[in-house]
């Protein structure tokens, strides 16, 4: 079951990435933001909940601006989660009962901060 779940997570990751690429659904200040990457998918053991972790690439934004933009992206993605779910159902990958929740993947940022700290303190 574990291997099957991992394969399902990878397939969902690919399908959601393709959907977002073809259907720009993320807008900040009226402009679409195409530079988003689906980093990983976590499916609950009962397969009823799908959590989609993403990264957003924002050039020149400071930490406060990035956090504000990420919150707007989360709201936009979650507002359109029904469309994403519909796409997955039509693909035959899932049935209609799953909840899809988007979240910013802070793991990569935290990893980068640790690496910066380690490089400053050899």
Task: Give the pLDDT confidence of 61-75 residue by residue, as tens digits.
Answer: 677 888 888 888 888
Q: What is the pLDDT of residues 4-41, one digit of tens each?
A: 889 999 999 999 998 888 877 666 566 666 578 899 99
* Residue 50 pLDDT level (bands cut at 50, 70, 90): very high
Structural domain that includes position 24: 2-120
Token representation of residue 86: 């519909």
The number of domains in the chain is: 1
> Residue 13 sits in a domain of what CATH number?
3.30.300.20
Q: Is the pLDDT of residue 96 over 60?
A: yes
Q: How far is CA 85 from the centre of its chain?
A: 13
Residue 99 CA to residue 82 CA, distance in Å, equals 9
Tell me the whole-structure pTM to 2 decimals: 0.79
Token representation of residue 52: 């989609």
């Amino acid at each position: 079951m574990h291997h099957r779940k991992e394969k399902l997570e990878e397939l969902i990751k690919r399908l959601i990435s393709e959907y977002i690429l073809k259907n720009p659904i993320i807008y900040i200040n009226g402009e679409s933001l195409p530079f988003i990457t689906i980093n990983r998918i976590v499916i609950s053991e009962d397969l009823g909940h799908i959590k989609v972790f993403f990264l957003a690439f924002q050039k020149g934004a400071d930490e406060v601006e990035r956090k504000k933009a990420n919150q707007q992206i989360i709201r936009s993605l979650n507002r359109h989660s029904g469309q994403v779910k519909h796409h997955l159902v039509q693909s035959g990958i899932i049935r209609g009962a799953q909840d899809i929740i988007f979240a910013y993947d802070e793991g990569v940022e935290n990893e980068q901060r640790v690496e910066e700290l380690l490089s400053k303190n050899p």
